[in-house]
Amino acid sequence: MNEFTKMTNRAEISHSIEKILKLIEGGDDLREGLVETPERVAKAYATWFGGYDVDIASLFKTFEDGGECCNEMVIVRDIPVYSHCEHHMAPIIG
CATH of residue 11's domain is 1.10.286.10
Residue 39 gets the label, from left (phi > 0), alpha (psi -120 to 50) or beta, of alpha
pLDDT attached to residue 67:
66
Phi (first) and psi of residue 12, to 5 degrees: -65, -40
pLDDT attached to residue 18:
97
**What count of Cα atoms within 13 Å lies in the side-chain half-sphere of residue 51?**
9
Question: How would residue 15 be classed by pLDDT, with cut points 50, 70 and 90?
Answer: very high
pLDDT attached to residue 77:
93
What would the pLDDT profile of 26-84 be if each residue is shown by its tens digit?
999 999 999 999 999 999 998 888 888 888 888 887 777 766 777 788 899 999 999 99
Residues 22 and 30 sit within 8 Å (Cβ to Cβ) = yes
Helix boundaries (H) for 1-94: 3-25, 37-48
Residues 90 and 84 sit within 8 Å (Cβ to Cβ) = yes
Between residues 13 and 67, the one the model is more confident about: 13
**Number of compact structural domains in the chain:** 1
- Residue 78 belongs to domain spanning: 3-93
